[in-house]
Amino acid sequence: MSENPRGTTRRAFLKNTGRMAAATALAGAVVPHVHAAENNTLQVALVGCGGRGTGAAADALSATGGPIKLVAMADVFENRLSGSYERIKREFPEQVDAPADRRFVGFDGYKKAIDCLRPGDIVIFATPPAFRWPHFTYAIEKGVHVFMEKPVTVDGPTTRRMLKLADEAEKKNLKVAVGLMWRHCAARRELVQRVQQGEIGDIVSMRTYRMHGPIGSFSAGPKPQEISELLYQIQRFHSFLWLSGGAYSDFYIHNIDELCWMKGAWPVEAQAVGGRHYRGDSIDQNFDSYSVEYTFPDGTKLFMIGRCISGCYDQFGGFAHGSKGMGAISSMGDKRGTARIYKCHDPKNENLAWRYPPGEPSPYRLEWNEFVEAIRNDKPYNEARRGAEASLVSSMGRMAAHTGQIVTWDDLMNSNHEFAPEVDKLAMDSPAPLRLEPNGKYPVPQPGLVKDREY
C-alpha cells in the first residue's frame, strides 16, 4: 500500500484518529484537508456518473463499518454529473460533500477527482470499460483503493495491461473490487458451495440464458447534429465495441462468470453464431442474438444464449447439469438470486432437493460491505485479475460470433488488435476512434469475411 507523507499506512491512519490530521495532505491535491478532523472517514470519488455509477455511489454510502463520504465527482457530460449529484445528495444529505469545485467535467476529470482523495481512500470507476486501464493506472499511482464496474477490458491488449496493473495494485496492498456482484450473492454462494461439494455429482454440461428486449444503449440511431461523434458514441456506449465490448460483453459477462465460478475453471475456447435482424436505421455494432459454445479444459461445455429482440420469449438464468442432478440459478429484478438443486434434470417442484430461502440481502450492498471491511481491517482483497479474466472469456465468445472462427483463450490473450490504443489521450475535441463509413453507418462484424478482427 502507498504511504501518506509521514509513512503511515491507511490502516494505521484509520485506527489512530485525532493524531494524524497533519498527514492527510497530498502534495498537489485539490483539497488537502477534506474532513481532516474525521480521520476514520473513508472518502469516495465517483468517476462516471451515469445510472450504474450513481447506484455504486449509493451502495458505497450505505456500506457498514464506519463513516463514508462522497467528496468528488467527474464525468464528460455535465448534465449527467449534476443529475447524479442531485440524486445522491437527496438520498444521503449528510454524506455528500462534493461542492462545485470538486465536480469535474472532461476527459481529465478522473485525475482531478482522484487528486481530491488521500492515500487509502476509494475511487469508483463507472465509465465505459475502454477507459478502465488509464483510470486504474492513475489510481494505483496515487495509492487509492478502487471499485470498478465490469467488464474491465474489451480486447486482448487491454486484458494483458489490466493483468499487470492487478499485480501492481497487489504489490501496493491496494484493495480492488470489480462489479461482478453475483459473486457476493448469498444464494449463489451457497449453490456454488453445494455444487462443488458434489451434490449434483460431476458437472457434465452447463447452459445460461439472457434473453429480453433491448436495454441500455443497445442500439443507436443516426447521430444528432448538436453532439460530437466521440461524445455520441460515449453516450451510447453499449452500441460500440471499442467502448464496451458491445452488448455481449457488457450484458452477458455476469451469466458467463457465475457458471465459470460454479465450474471452478475458465473456458479455453469458444465457437459461436450470431445475427443482426431488421434494424432499420440503427448504426450500432451489436448482433441481436448470440449462441456460444464454450469448452473447458476437461471438455465440458457451457452454452450461452443471448438475445435483445422485443416481442420474443424471455429467459434469464443458468443451469449446471451433473451426473446426479441439476443446479439452477435465476435472477430477480433486483439481482437477488433464486438458487435451487434438483434431484434430476427436470426442474419440477416434486424434484426439488434444496432451495435457498427467500429474503437474501442485496448483493450490491454485500459487495460493498465486504470491500469496505477489507479496507478498514487491511485484509487481502483484489478482484482485478478475476475481473480481467472474466472480461477476456466474454470477449472470446463475442469474437467467435463476430468472426465465425473458433477463438481460444491464447488467441485472444496474444492478440495485437486493440480497439482504441490511444484512449488515454482523448480530449473533448478529439476524433472518435470509430468513424462512419461512406454509407453513413459504422462497420459491423462480418463473420467469415473478416476473420482476424471484429470489424
Whether 71 and 159 share a structural domain: yes
Last residue of a domain, one of 382, 417, 447: 382
User: Cα angle vertex 414, ends 406, 110, to 5°?
Assistant: 115
Q: State pLDDT tens for residues 31-46.
A: 333 333 357 999 999 9
CA 433 from chain center: how many Å? 22
pLDDT, residue 72, reads 98
Question: Which structural domain, as residue segments, surrounds residue 274?
Answer: 183-361+391-425
Mean pLDDT of 178-205: 97
Angle between helices 156-171 and 132-142 (to 10 degrees): 10
Whether 23 and 86 share a structural domain: yes
Whether 188 and 255 share a structural domain: yes
Beta carbons within 8 Å of 253's beta carbon, 6+ residues apart: 150, 151, 180, 390, 391, 394
**Per the structure, how many domains does the chain have?**
2
Mean pLDDT of 19-26: 32
Residue 436 in any domain: the answer is no
Q: Which of these, 214, 328, 350, lies nearest to 282 by C-alpha position?
A: 214
Residue 41 in any domain: the answer is yes
Whether 203 and 248 share a structural domain: yes
Residue 442 in any domain: the answer is no
Residue 137 in any domain: the answer is yes
Q: State pLDDT tens for residues 201-217.
A: 999 999 999 999 999 99
- Which band of pLDDT confidence, cut at 50, 70 and 90, is reported for residue 28? very low
Phi, psi of 339 (to 5 degrees): -110, 135
Whether 169 and 257 share a structural domain: no
Alpha carbons 162 and 418: distance in angstroms, whole number? 13
pLDDT, residue 17, reads 34
Whether 239 and 332 share a structural domain: yes
Does 333 have pLDDT greater than 70? Answer: no
Last residue of a domain, one of 382, 411, 438: 382
Whether 60 and 156 share a structural domain: yes
Whether 176 and 317 share a structural domain: no
Residue 144 in any domain: the answer is yes
Q: Which of these, 285, 306, 288, 289, lies nearest to 455 by C-alpha position?
A: 285
Q: Which of these, 51, 335, 327, lies nearest to 210 by C-alpha position?
A: 335
Total count of residues recorded for the chain: 455
Residue 337 in any domain: the answer is yes
- Which band of pLDDT confidence, cut at 50, 70 and 90, is reported for residue 115? very high
Strands 352-355 and 42-47, by their bridges, are unpaired
Residue 273 in any domain: the answer is yes
Q: Which of these, 250, 254, 256, lies nearest to 272 by C-alpha position?
A: 256
Whether 205 and 175 share a structural domain: no
pLDDT, residue 334, reads 54
Q: Which of these, 363, 381, 354, 56, lies nearest to 186 by C-alpha position?
A: 363
**DSSP designation for 23:** G
pLDDT, residue 23, reads 33
Strands 315-322 and 326-331, by their bridges, are antiparallel
Mean pLDDT of 229-248: 98
Whether 196 and 142 share a structural domain: no
